[in-house]
């Protein structure tokens, strides 16, 4: 019987190709990290459960992951190459990751190169984290980055000291990535209170010699304590002076009597010096010169 018109005939070489495609589609997906959930459609999504007690990003994220969400963990510090096996891991481990959400993870420090190994990352969300330090090269190696969220950090006052210099330089070169950058205001030191960060000159963010790791911040923090100690010292000196004046006032009569006696004693002493001076100046009171040796003493009535 001739094949029915309009229906393609399955030829020999076509059937093995369909079987290979079906086998490729039916192969098991890459395993998910512990305490994380994977979704394979339409693109691989990875979401780690809140309260997962993660202290570092999971190491067994599937390499073809597109989106990664970690919420409610306790990461605290994102170290260098945190998503590329850490410790400056070589190679690119997540080459297709385009969105990374790290909210509510208690992140305080982001070290230089923390996101190395993510060349396709376009959206990074670090909101709702008590950020304290951002390394100057924290976002290096992210050529595709278009969106960076650092909002909802109202409980994290910005200290405009020496460590804020790299952040200021980066914000000025990436204002289009941080639309609300002009809303960043300084909470310390007192001289820069409530000043917009972008309005400051780097010279205002003073650094001591070799102070690039936050020691200047401690010096700024010690400023109010030092000022309070000076005020306390001044109050103590004022109290001592007041007590001294009260002692003088209560003993004013005895002091006056002592001063009068001292003045009279000085007057008597000066009068004695004056009397002796007058006696020494009278030539009639000068003693007679002594007779030369060998001469005979003669009385006025004796003859020669």
Q: Is residue 149 part of a domain?
A: yes
Task: Look up the pTM and report it.
Answer: 0.48
Q: Is residue 72 part of a domain?
A: yes
Check if the beta carbon of residue 62 is closer than 8 Å to that of residue 96: no
The first and second tokens of residue 234, run together, are 């001044």
Q: Is there a domain that residue 248 lies in?
A: no
Which tokens go with 288? 């007679």
pLDDT score, position 71 = 82
Q: What average pLDDT does this structure show over 78-91?
A: 69
Give residue-wise pLDDT tens across range 222-280.
556 677 888 989 999 999 999 999 998 898 888 889 998 998 888 888 877 776 766 66
292 lies in some domain? no
Within-domain flag for 198: yes
For residue 51, what are the domain limits? 30-213
Q: 208 in a domain, yes or no?
A: yes
235-251 b/e (C-beta count within 10 Å ≥ 16 → b): eeeeeeeeeeeeeeeee
108 lies in some domain: yes
Number of structural domains in the chain: 1
Backbone angles phi, psi at 125, to 5 degrees: -120, 110
Is residue 103 one of the residues assigned to a domain? Answer: yes
* CB atoms closer than 10 angstroms to residue 150: 20
- Could you tell me the CATH number of the domain that includes residue 152? 3.80.10.10
Q: What is the pLDDT of residues 122-170, one digit of tens each?
A: 999 998 888 888 887 888 888 899 988 887 765 667 788 888 888 888 8
CB 27 within 8 A of CB 48: no
């Amino acid at each position: 019987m001739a094949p029915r018109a309009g229906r393609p005939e399955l030829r020999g070489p076509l059937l093995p190709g369909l079987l290979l495609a079906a086998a490729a589609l039916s192969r098991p997906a890459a395993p998910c990290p512990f305490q994380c959930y994977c979704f394979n459609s339409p693109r691989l999504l990875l979401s780690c459960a809140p309260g997962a007690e993660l202290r570092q990003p999971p190491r067994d994220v599937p390499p073809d992951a597109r989106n990664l969400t970690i919420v409610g963990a306790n990461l605290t510090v994102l170290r260098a190459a945190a998503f590329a096996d850490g410790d400056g891991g070589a190679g690119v481990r997540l080459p297709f990751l385009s969105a990374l959400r790290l909210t509510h993870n208690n992140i305080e420090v982001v070290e230089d190169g923390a996101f190395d190994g993510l060349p396709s990352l376009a959206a990074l969300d670090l909101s709702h984290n008590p950020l304290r330090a951002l390394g100057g090269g924290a976002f290096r190696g992210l050529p595709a980055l278009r969106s960076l969220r650092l909002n909802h950090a109202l409980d994290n006052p910005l200290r405009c000291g020496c460590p804020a210099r790299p952040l200021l330089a980066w914000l000025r070169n990436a204002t289009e990535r941080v639309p609300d950058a002009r809303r960043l205001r300084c909470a310390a030191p007192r001289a820069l209170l409530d000043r917009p960060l972008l309005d400051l000159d780097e010279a205002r963010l003073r650094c001591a010699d070799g102070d690039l790791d936050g020691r200047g911040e401690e010096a700024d923090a010690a400023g109010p304590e030092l000022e309070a100690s000076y005020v306390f010292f001044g109050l103590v000196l004022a109290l001592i002076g007041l007590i001294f004046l009260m002692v003088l006032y209560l003993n004013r009569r005895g002091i006056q009597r002592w001063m009068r006696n001292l003045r009279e004693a000085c007057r008597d002493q000066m009068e004695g010096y004056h009397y002796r001076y007058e006696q020494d100046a009278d030539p009639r009171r000068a003693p007679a010169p002594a007779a030369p040796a060998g001469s005979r003493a003669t009385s006025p009535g004796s003859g020669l």
